[in-house]
C-alpha cells in the first residue's frame, strides 16, 4: 500500500505527523538512498526509509472496525465454496483485514475486524476474560434449574466444563414453544453457546452476538460497520493487558 512519507514515519513512532514533515523539510530523511525534501512524497511497503541515517520499521497502519455480521456469511477472508465472507463488506478498505475470532455461518452479530495481529490474539485468549453476550432463541422453555446450570458451568461433549456465565430468560412463548435467553460468557470454544444450550435440552434456533466487552451494535444494521474510535481501541488494549482472574458473578 502506498502512503505519504510523513504518515508512515508517524505510524512507525518516529514523531508526530507535523514533526515528521519538519524532519523531511530539513533533509534528514532518505528513501532508497535518496534524500527527500518534498512533503507530497509517497512510499510503499518495500521502500527503505532512513531518518538521520537510521532505518525505520514501517508497517501497515493498524485499523479496527466493528462489524455487524449478517447470517449466511463466513467469518473468514475467503471460502473455497464461493460463499460470501466477511471481508466482502470491506472492499474499499486498503488494509488486509481479518476477523477477531469467528461467528458461525448462521449466527449474526458483533464481530471485530482488524490487521492488528497482537491485539487480535490477546482478545481471543480466554485468560483475558473478554465478555461476549448473546441473544439465543431456543426451542422449548428452560427451567430455573437449567438456567442455574448454565450459570454454574456446563460439561460439553468434549469433556470441557464451561466457566461460570451470566444467563437470563428474556421472553417466553409457550404457544410457539420457544424462549429468548441472554447468555454472557468469556470463553470462545467451538460452537460453545450452541453446545451449552444443547446440553440442557434446548437447542438454539437463532443466535446473535450483541456485545463484545463494552462494545455494542448500537446504530448499526446487519452488513454495516464502523471504525472503532481511538478511545475504544485504547480501552480494548487496556482491558486485555490487565490480566484478570475474576469470576463472572451469577445473575
Collapse the DSSP code of 220 into the 3-class scheme (helix H, G, I; strand E, B; otherwise coil) and give the result: coil
Residue closest to 237 by CA, chosen among 128, 113, 127 = 128
Q: Which long-range contacts (CB under 8 A, 24 or more apart) does 245-251 make?
A: 246/129, 247/163, 247/164, 248/129, 248/131, 248/163, 248/164, 248/165, 248/166, 248/184, 248/185, 248/186, 249/164, 249/166, 250/151, 250/164, 250/166, 251/151, 251/166, 251/167, 251/168
- Any catalytic annotation for residue 104? yes
| Catalytic, out of 88, 104, 158, 173 | 104
Q: Catalytic residue numbers?
A: 104
Amino acid at each position: 500500500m502506498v502512503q505519504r512519507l510523513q504518515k508512515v514515519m508517524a505510524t512507525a513512532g518516529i514523531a508526530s505527523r507535523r514533526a515528521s514533515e519538519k524532519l523531511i523539510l530539513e533533509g534528514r530523511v532518505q528513501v532508497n538512498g535518496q534524500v527527500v525534501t518534498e512533503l507530497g512524497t509517497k512510499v510503499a511497503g518495500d521502500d527503505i526509509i532512513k531518518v538521520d541515517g537510521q532505518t525505520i520499521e514501517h508497517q501497515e497502519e493498524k485499523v479496527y472496525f466493528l462489524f455487524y455480521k449478517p447470517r449466511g456469511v463466513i467469518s473468514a477472508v475467503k471460502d473455497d465454496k464461493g460463499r460470501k465472507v466477511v471481508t466482502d463488506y470491506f472492499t474499499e478498505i486498503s488494509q488486509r483485514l481479518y476477523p477477531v475470532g469467528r461467528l458461525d455461518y448462521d449466527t449474526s452479530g458483533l464481530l471485530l475486524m482488524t490487521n492488528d495481529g497482537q491485539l487480535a490474539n490477546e482478545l481471543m485468549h480466554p485468560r483475558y476474560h473478554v465478555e461476549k453476550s448473546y441473544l439465543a432463541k431456543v426451542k422449548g422453555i428452560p427451567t430455573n434449574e437449567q438456567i442455574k446450570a448454565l450459570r454454574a458451568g456446563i460439561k460439553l461433549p468434549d469433556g470441557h466444563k464451561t466457566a461460570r456465565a451470566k444467563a437470563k430468560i428474556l421472553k417466553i412463548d409457550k404457544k410457539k414453544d420457544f424462549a429468548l435467553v441472554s447468555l454472557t460468557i468469556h470463553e470462545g470454544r467451538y460452537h460453545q453457546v450452541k453446545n451449552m444450550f444443547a446440553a440442557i435440552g434446548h437447542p438454539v434456533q437463532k443466535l446473535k452476538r450483541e456485545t463484545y466487552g463494552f462494545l455494542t451494535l448500537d446504530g448499526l444494521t446487519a452488513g454495516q460497520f464502523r471504525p472503532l474510535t481511538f478511545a475504544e481501541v485504547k480501552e480494548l488494549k487496556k482491558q486485555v493487558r490487565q490480566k484478570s482472574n475474576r469470576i463472572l458473578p451469577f445473575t
